[in-house]
Amino acid sequence: MTTPNSYTTGPDERGHFGDFGGRFVAETLMPLILEVEEAYNAAKSDPSYQADIDYYAKHYTGRPSPLYFAERLTKEFGGAKVYFKRDELNHTGSHKINNCMGQILLAKRMGKTRIIAETGAGQHGVATATVCALFDLPCVVYMGATDIARQAPNVFRMKLLGAEVVPVTSGTGTLKDAMNDALRDWVANVESTFYIIGTAAGPHPYPAMVRDFQSVIGREVREQMMEAEGRLPDSLVACIGGGSNALGLFHPFLNDTDVQITGVEAAGHGIPSGEHAASLTGGRPGVLHGNRTYLLQTDDGQIKDAHSISAGLDYPGIGPEHSWLNDIGRVQYVSATDTEALECFQLCCRLEGILPALEPSHALAHVRKVAPDLPRDHLLVMNMCGRGDKDVFTVAEALGVTI
Amino acid sequence: MSESRLERRFAALKSEGRGGLVTFTTAGDPDYDTAFEILKRLPDAGADVIELGMPFSDPMADGPSIQAAGLRALDAGMTLRKTLQMVSDFRAADDTTPIVLMGYYNPIYSYGVDVFIKDALAAGVDGLIIVDLPPEEDDELCEPANAAGLHFVRLATPTTDDARLPKVLTNTSGFIYYVSIMGITGTKAASGDAVRAAVTRLKKHTDMPVAVGFGIRTPEQAAEVAAVADAAVVGTAIVERVKAGLSPDGIAGPNLVEGVVGYVASLAAGVRSARQG
């Protein structure tokens, strides 16, 4: 594959990043997808739309999030200078709100009167329920029954925020099934409803739109690192489920080819075990949820269940732009296991006083692997994309502690 | 292409002055042998065109009944290769009833588009309905399938307005499948008047036969649709007869095939009672 002149021109007008992406949806949804695309293109060129996003980012979400030098972890690893982009400090506790704000402002512009969403860990569901409360729109969140059981605090938060949480029992009762049921809802309610997809996946224009909303993360890092160190970082690390926090950090740096970029997938019980959520490492290209991308699937093209201790990474696919960045080699994709993530969750608590979500704990596991061998002037930025309060029950159970 | 089984069948229906019955069953539900037994008996029971579902783990446009049917088939070891085998076995005894495979793109993409088209033609498949391939993705499968002589049957829906309809009809052949409701399969039914209006609208844009489905459950409803459309499609209600025939441990019970075939015969009687004006 040839190296493109720019890594940031995609997708094309049909929503393709190289071979990936596209619009693989039922005819009932197709006119709506086109309507969303048209509305988003119009909004992008309307200064008042961006002004609204900026206003709520500053006064409601709490942006910019800090770029924090993790001094004790840096000392512990004994190599690269480790910085955290603190998106876990956002209102609602993760990067998810960046995207939800952009989409609900679009839904309002389109005159939609009802919001639906899917959620895995519950972070996207909480963020969606939050903006629905803020803008007074009814909210229905589809969540796998398995995830409901392991993310009880977030389920209750969504209900407090006024959302209806619908348990999904079809399939395996996890994120992919929640997305199936959200799409089924949308097919039945196309006229009134806007579907706020939580990650940079799904049919065009969602992957590009979600990436645009999350790119605020990387844009801030550029400025903040210039301020802190007078230059750009040497490397970036982020965890990947669907991959929206990672793309948000990576995208503004893709054309800075000296910046080394690494995405960390969830290896669950280990790639050889087959029980993991590493679509790039352990999957192959296929078509699901409206886009072509790497998927965990059987020889017959049936979608396999993903496994990760982190509900937010427990998805058998990945955003199409990541599949493209993988194939052209601009971003390196690796994985970290449940056990490694759990170790780094605890390490981060003890050394930095930060409870990371289990999702970025996977990113930290990779940082722990590479930082010791990097020079001390190497600037590494890891996206701390969510806080771990929601995960304390899961972690306690994994550690055999009753609380 | 020379006249296909689908074209011959719809021409015959027209000369009989009646609408047809299109049945949907899932290949391999609840197991290969039982599903094949049902398939073989559908033409005598009165199915004019057969839609055979290719099971998929994530059928996004289907309601609970057809989702469950697909999972039963997959649990029993069904694969796309076996679905093609089933069509081939069927063709050994029946060379006239059109068979249209219906499903989602990923299993075909995984199989390999070119090999799939070749194998489907060799098995005796007449057409494809691939739910998640809209006209915007025609270069994936629709164009090569059409070029090879497989009909690509497309869904049109209430959201497909007059501006979009020509795009949907381009590259569609065999018949157009009008989904009479906005929603997933098996949830609700459209009124007779709504169906009549929709068929009239479609006929302004195409000479192709129009089959109407989603939500048809009774012989009376099938008759009502067949009176105004070229065919009525029944899926969920048939698949539910399969489920009703399962024994408590989930395998095919002794009366399963008779239950399904008898129900299809009642639908066929309904359709045949409705003369077109």
For residue B84, give the CATH number of its domain: 3.20.20.70
Collapsing DSSP states into helix, strand and coil, what is residue A339? helix
The residue in chain B having the minimum alpha-carbon distance to the alpha carbon of residue A25 is B132
Mode of pairing for the β-strands spanning A260-268 and A235-240: parallel
Q: What is the mean pLDDT of residues B144-153?
A: 98
* Residue A190 Cα, gap to closest chain B Cα (Å): 8
The predicted complex's ipTM stands at 0.95
pLDDT at B276: 62
Q: In this complex, which of B58, B155, B187 lies closest to A27 when CB atoms are compared? A: B155
In a mutagenesis test of the A interface, which of B82, B106, B172 is the best target, namely the one with the most A β-carbons within 10 Å? B106
Strand order of the β-sheet with A16-17 is A16-17, A20-24, A290-295, A284-288
Does the CB of B109 have a partner CB in chain A at under 8 Å? yes
Over residues B153-176, the pLDDT tens digits come to: 999 998 899 999 999 999 999 999
Q: Which of these ranges, A64-68, A117-121, A216-220, B5-9, has the smallest mean pLDDT? A: A117-121
Give the DSSP letter of residue A202: S
Chain-chain contact of B56 with A302 (C-beta, under 8 angstroms): yes
- The answer to whether residue A23 scores a pLDDT higher than 70 is yes
Residue-averaged pLDDT of chain A: 96
- Rounded Cα distance, A286 and A294, in Å: 6
Chain-chain contact of A300 with B110 (C-beta, under 8 angstroms): yes
Catalytic residue among B7, B51, B230, B240: B51
Residue B120: alpha-carbon gap to chain centroid:
16
Does B87 reside within a domain? yes
In a mutagenesis test of the B interface, which of A38, A302, A315 is the best target, namely the one with the most B β-carbons within 10 Å? A302
Over residues B182-221, the pLDDT tens digits come to: 777 777 777 788 899 999 999 999 999 999 998 899 999 9
Count: domains in chain B: 1
pLDDT band at A2 (very low <50, low <70, confident <90, very high): low
Give the DSSP letter of residue B94: -
The residue in chain A having the minimum alpha-carbon distance to the alpha carbon of residue B64 is A170
Chain-chain contact of A32 with B56 (C-beta, under 8 angstroms): no
In a mutagenesis test of the A interface, which of B184, B202, B214, B236 is the best target, namely the one with the most A β-carbons within 10 Å? B184
pLDDT at B1: 45
Chain-chain contact of B60 with A184 (C-beta, under 8 angstroms): yes
In a mutagenesis test of the A interface, which of B159, B171, B188 is the best target, namely the one with the most A β-carbons within 10 Å? B159
What is the number of other CB atoms lying within 10 angstroms of the CB of residue A54? 12
Does B216 reside within a domain? yes
Q: In this complex, which of A25, A187, A300 lies closest to B182 when CB atoms are compared? A: A187
Q: What one-letter code names the amino acid at B76?
A: A
Rounded percentage of chain B residues whose pLDDT exceeds 70 = 98
Chain-chain contact of A24 with B137 (C-beta, under 8 angstroms): yes
Does the CB of B56 have a partner CB in chain A at under 8 Å? yes
- Rounded Cα distance, A131 and A60, in Å: 10
- The answer to whether residue B11 scores a pLDDT higher than 60 is yes
Residue-averaged pLDDT of chain B: 95
- The answer to whether residue A172 scores a pLDDT higher than 90 is no
Q: What is the mean pLDDT of residues A39-53?
A: 98
Over residues A373-390, the pLDDT tens digits come to: 999 999 999 999 999 998
* Residue A309 Cα, gap to closest chain B Cα (Å): 23
- The answer to whether residue A15 scores a pLDDT higher than 70 is yes
The residue in chain A having the minimum alpha-carbon distance to the alpha carbon of residue B164 is A31
pLDDT at A1: 53
Does the CB of B4 have a partner CB in chain A at under 8 Å? no
The separation between the first and the last C-alpha atoms of chain B, rounded to the nearest angstrom, is 31
pLDDT at A80: 98
- The answer to whether residue A7 scores a pLDDT higher than 90 is yes
B249 belongs to the catalytic site? no
Q: Which of these ranges, A95-99, B101-105, B159-163, B171-175, has the smallest mean pLDDT? A: B159-163
Does B153 reside within a domain? yes
Please report the number of interchain residue pairs, chain A to chain B, with beta-carbon separation below 8 angstroms.
120
DSSP per-residue codes, A257-289: TTSEEEEEEEEET-GGGT----HHHH-EEEEET
Does B276 reside within a domain? no
Q: What is the mean pLDDT of residues A17-31?
A: 95
Strand order of the β-sheet with B99-103 is B151-152, B127-130, B99-103, B49-53, B20-26, B231-234, B210-213, B176-179, B154-156
Chain B positions touching A288 (Cβ under 8 A) are 58, 106
What is the number of other CB atoms lying within 10 angstroms of the CB of residue A2? 5
B75 belongs to the catalytic site? no
* Residue B265 Cα, gap to closest chain A Cα (Å): 31
Half-sphere exposure of A226 (CA within 13 A, CB side): 6
Does B215 reside within a domain? yes
Q: In this complex, which of A190, A286, A297 lies closest to B182 when CB atoms are compared? A: A190
Does B275 reside within a domain? no
Half-sphere exposure of A101 (CA within 13 A, CB side): 27
Chain-chain contact of B60 with A297 (C-beta, under 8 angstroms): no
Q: Which domain holds residue B166?
A: 5-270
Chain-chain contact of A183 with B58 (C-beta, under 8 angstroms): no
pLDDT at B2: 63
* Residue B60 Cα, gap to closest chain A Cα (Å): 5
Mode of pairing for the β-strands spanning A81-85 and A67-69: antiparallel
Residue from B257, B60, B131 nearest A171 by CA = B60
Does B277 reside within a domain? no
Rounded percentage of chain A residues whose pLDDT exceeds 70 = 99
Chain A positions touching B157 (Cβ under 8 A) are 26-28
Specify the DSSP element, H or E, that contains B211.
Answer: strand B210-213
